[in-house]
Structure 1
């Protein structure tokens, strides 16, 4: 859990108080139903890879990227054998870490800045 604590302390997280209770309950239910926690995979591990996500992954520190690749490989192995992790190694909703958020936000800000510079170069305002 050292990884989770390290990433959680550095990542800006949307306040749970801002999310309606019904939506939070629905998210918890969907997370449990997905079995990602039982496979040891975080939500950010299974995001659809877009150019933004791809750039964010390039910016990850090597140890975080290695941990992500290990979790994905282990999950594929478990899925192939129709098994789950032991209870002690499974993740819960509360353990889920959004470690890519700061990098995704940085890439989005840079893309917005690039677009605004492109408009200025064209003469548009």
Structure 2
């Protein structure tokens, strides 16, 4: 198993205690919570992997898919009116969960497996 930055940070008490406040401050400065969005709402929908993940989300959890579309529409309205939502309507950090990331990872692995299978070289017998 390869050591990733994420696992290194999670396994190190020092790195975790140092980077957690930085990541919290970044999320607050980014401003997406102030217009009612979650982090996974920011994922671009223009590629095949994201499209498939969103299709699976709507099949497995239609309420979450509906809520996502609603949050994006509210954010667009805030953008058009150059305003933020009232503070009580901001997305709370505990509500900002990664709902699309597990599906994206699953779809990415399936696409990579399909690509590897489609590009398999068949060697003739000797």
* 1:1-80 to 2 correspondences below 5 Å: 17-18=10-11, 20-49=16-45, 50-61=47-58, 62-80=62-80
Give TM-score scaled by structure 1 length: 0.74
Judge which range, 101-110 or 58-67, deviates more: 58-67
Larger radius of gyration: 2
**Residue of structure 1 equivalent to 2:122:** 123
Provide structure 1 residue ranges, at least 5 long, that are not aligned to the other structure: 1-13
Alpha-carbon separation, structure 2, partners of 1:123 and 1:26: 50
> What CA distance in whole angstroms lies between the structure 2 residues aligned with 1:83 and 1:34?
15
- Give deviations 1:55-88, integer Å, cap 9, x for gaps: 1111112322211111010011112222222222
Distance 2:88 2:20 in 1: 25
Range with greater deviation from structure 2 (18-27 or 99-108): 18-27
Gaps of 5+ in 2: 1-5
Moved more, 90-99 or 34-43: 90-99
Alpha-carbon distance in 1 for matches of 2:69, 2:31: 18
Provide the C-alpha distance between the structure 2 equivalents of 1:108 and 1:85, rounded to a whole number of angstroms: 34
Aligned equivalents of 2:111, 2:34: Cα separation in 1? 35
Provide the residue aligned with 2:3 in structure 1.
none
